[in-house]
Amino acid sequence: MKPHPLLSALSLTLLLAACAGSPPPGTGGGAEPVLGSTEDLNTRPKAVAPDTVEPAFDNVPIVSGHLHVLEAAPTLRNLPKDARLGEARIPKGTRLSAQALPANAQTNKVELRVLVLSSGAGDYGLDSAKAMLQQSGVPYDVLDASQQTLGQGNLINADGTGKYQGVILTSNALLTQPTPGVYTSALDSSEWETLFQYEAAYKVRQLALYGYPGVAPEDYGLRAVPGAETSTTSMTPSSAGKGVFTDLTGTAVPVQYAYSYPSALEAVPGVTTTPLLTDPGGRVLAATSTAADGRERLLITTAQNAALLHTQLMGYGLVQWLTKGVHLGEHRRFLQVDIDDFFAAGDHLNAATGQLYDKPFRVSAGDLISVLYQQEELRNSYRVARQFKYGLVFNGGGAKTTAPATCLFYWLSSDQLTSISRCLKNEFDWVNHTRDHQRMDVMDFKTASEQIAGNFAIGDKLGLPVNRKALVTGEHSGLGNMDPNDDGTHNDEGTVGPKQDLGLGRSNPNMLSAAVSAGVRFIASDHSVASQWDPSCATCGVQHPLNSGIFLVPRWPINMHYHVTNPAEVTASYNSIYAPGGIRPTWDHALNYNEFLDKESDLALNHILGGSAFPHYLHQTNLNQYALGKSVASDWVKAALTKYSRYSTLPLNTYDWDQLGEYLKSHTLEEKAKSAGTLGAVWDRKSNVVAISSRAGRLPVTLTGANSGTLYGAYRAMTGAVDGSVSVTVTPR
């Protein structure tokens, strides 16, 4: 609750209108529509000034919680800022000799799979290669060149088809440094010859994620510019680069914490080199290069890290180039934003004292009307966010089912928020958050059913288009992240002892069963809890181990806390954690609001570019209209969209929750099948037909490059299922 209640601008307008005998806001000067009439419900409510007093409410659930102490910036491990390279020494081949192709070689046929060649322990480029491929759903194998010999059997199947459609080198010479300053390749000369022979015969492209622009093991037609080495620069796509990095806007992409070798073109007989990315001085940071034997190669002279912006932005274009735009899986990006605790009231931070106000905060009807306009402004201002829609994750125990549905006369309602929500029901995505936000870690089946099914019933009474298969439990409770001493006698209280991640095996089976009985199939989990997401697949959800009817959709918490309503409260809470003197001091000073948005949009951009469909979640307090047309929730979304749109034109998907759950479950089944080798495909490049096969019954499948399907960015993807085998016509790029 705001500390100094004043008469709201809306109430004042209504009072003056009544005294003057004029119609209330939203009506014309003629005959007034009847409350609840078609004309009433089809009239768009007008935006109002920020409230200075909240509507009265009784018996509304009060949500008290705890602050998530999260990373304040993207996690940067194994930074390549000191990843200096040099001219490679290639050991003479002693382990095997370059071999002739087998007599049955089918050089027009390759599996839709990529080979990643690693230099072994300490290879920081390996994580970047894996991340790029996973973000596009491309199956891959990793060969540790320091431990395994690369022979023809690693590259060609017994039937003569190629095992791989593309090859990624984590560095162009797979360098190791057995002696400081001495750079030795993990592959010997005969292994390089075997690899190059395969690439030439099967017309397989090669991507070197980082390399010293020299002559070993082969010449790309680039030479390092002496003295230009740097760990801070930027890269801008050339005209040819725009054809590879089709989604980039052309704005210079910053390169930080990554060592780079700006290069110049060098004329080499039989080699054609085309710059793709250049630094501010026009020197080359990435180029394609055609070898004398016809092999197509791409070399980047800047080091990579899976969490760095330039690596994440390049990944989409690099994978499409490597695979010629034909591969299993697809690259898709999302912007899903949930607002938890809707209809409930919540703790409210006093920025001046650091304590909570005595009276909790609940959004008003005017706040929600403003959110409608904010949402439309975001859609209209950012081409990438045309589909954007807030998800309102609601606690129906805080609504009043007797409040009328009205767009013009909500100010007469016994609960204005309920009435305006019924008016605007089709503008948002509605998700079950249980009736009263009770803790479900230890709860009997009957109570859990009342909380879950009862909230669906309230949504039905209100006429809300509620997702029928989705559930977000209060505090993500019931999934094993809990106070181990909780006995279930205080489920309606705001705080418990410290939570511990006891694993999904400690989930509440009563909650799971009650959810399934109510028709729920997808439950939100907390990505900040280790057991509630899958580290082996960064874009996958989690099948619940205790109940086959439940699939978990991880959500990202953010550093905009559950009890803040305006910028002053946002920064007061944030700085109490991350500023000097905070519980996790990270920055060298207390951040102002713009600095906070800059840091948090970095995290949001990191998540979006990671390719996962996981929602971010905020809280109803964050929807307060603190200034005309502004809320801290929409400020955060705007900051993320501004940063993303600066660099990429690839549209951001926003799905309703049931659709999101179905998508993520199908995606996870497909990714697990590809990883297990039970789903695969062979591309006949002579006929441009891909034969997709399942060895584990009916499996979902996505194929990028298909002639039919949905266009996303510059590439078309077909989505379906396969049981046995199916053939699909493709068009390579």
Calculate the alpha carbon distances from 37 to 32, 33, 404 in Å.
11, 7, 11
**pLDDT confidence of residue 2:** 36
Q: What is the CATH number of domain 106-328?
A: 3.40.50.880
- The two tokens of residue 366 are 């005017």
The residue type at 587: W
Distance CA 320, CA 318 (A): 5
pLDDT, residue 7, reads 32
CB within 8 A of 384, min separation 6: which ones?
Answer: 641, 644, 645, 648, 649, 650, 651, 652
Whether 169 has a pLDDT exceeding 50, the answer reads yes
Which of the four pLDDT bands, split at 50, 70 and 90, describes residue 640? very high
**pLDDT on residue 563:** 97
Least confident span in 18-27, 80-89, 291-300, 466-475: 18-27
**Matching residue, tokens 């014309």:** 28
**In this structure, what is the dihedral angle of CA atoms 458, 462, 467, 469, given to the nearest 10 degrees?**
20
With the CA atoms of 486, 492, 498 and 502 taken in that order, what torsion angle do they form, in degrees rounded to the nearest 10?
A: 50
pLDDT (average), residues 609-613? 96
- pLDDT(29) > 50: no
Q: Are 247 and 713 in contact (CB under 8 A)?
A: yes
Q: How far apart are CA 341 and CA 560, in angstroms?
A: 15
pTM of the model: 0.93
What's the pLDDT tens digit per position in 221-242?
A: 999 999 999 999 999 999 999 9
**Residues pairing with 703 in the sheet:** 328, 718
Q: Is the pLDDT of residue 15 over 50?
A: no
Tens digit of each residue's pLDDT (9 = 90 or more) over 663-714 = 999 999 999 999 999 999 999 999 999 999 999 999 999 999 999 999 999 9
Task: Please determine, for residue 26, whether its predicted confidence score (pLDDT) is greater than 80.
Answer: no
CA distance 319 to 324: 8
- Length of the chain counted residue by residue: 733
Domain locations in the chain as residue ranges: 9-63+335-567+606-632, 106-328
- Asked whether the beta carbons of 651 and 375 are under 8 A apart, the reply is no
Residue type, 609: L
On the question of pLDDT at 373 being above 60, the answer is yes
For the segment 107-135, the average pLDDT, to the nearest whole number, is: 95
Res 75 pLDDT > 90: no
- Between CA 701 and CA 671 the distance in angstroms is 9
Q: What mean pLDDT value characterizes the chain? A: 92
Read off the pLDDT of each residue in 190-212 and give the average, rounded to a whole number: 96
Q: Could you tell me the sign of the dihedral formed by the alpha carbons of 521, 525, 527, 532, in that order? A: negative
> What is the residue whose two structure tokens read 């699909």?
728
Residue 18 has pLDDT above 50, yes or no: no
Q: What is the pLDDT of residues 410-455, one digit of tens each?
A: 999 999 999 999 999 999 999 999 999 999 999 999 999 999 999 9
Query: What is the rounded CA–CA span in Å between residue 11 and residue 27?
Result: 15
Tokens coding 212: 């010293």
Alpha-carbon distance 131 to 116, whole Å? 12
| 93-106 residue pLDDT tens | 875 555 679 999 99
Quote the pLDDT of residue 80. Answer: 65
CB 228 within 8 A of CB 319: no
Confidence class of residue 82 from pLDDT cuts 50, 70 and 90? Answer: low
Paired tokens of 87: 């001219």
Among 682, 558, 433, smallest CA distance to 67 is for 558
pLDDT at position 181 is: 74
Instruction: Identify the weakest region by mean pLDDT among 46-50, 326-330, 477-481, 637-641.
Output: 46-50
SS3 7: coil
Q: Average pLDDT in the 374-401 region?
A: 97
Q: 479 to each of 467, 488, 663, how far by Cα in Å?
A: 21, 14, 22
pLDDT at 456 exceeding the cut of 80: yes
For 650-689, b/e burial (b = at least 16 CB within 10 A) is bbbbbbbbbebbebbbbbbbbbbbbeeeebbbbbbbeeee
Confidence of residue 68 (pLDDT cuts 50, 70, 90): confident
CA–CA distance, 318 with 330 (Å, rounded to integer): 13
Q: What does the pLDDT read at residue 6?
A: 31
Q: Which two tokens stand for residue 37?
A: 């009439």
Average pLDDT over residues 119-144: 95
pLDDT in tens, 557-595: 999 999 999 999 999 999 999 999 999 999 999 999 999
Task: Assign residue 476 a region (left: φ > 0; alpha: ψ between -120 and 50; beta: otherwise).
Answer: left
Distance between CA atoms of 620 and 210, rounded to whole angstroms? 45
Q: Confidence band (pLDDT; 50, 70, 90) for 78?
A: low
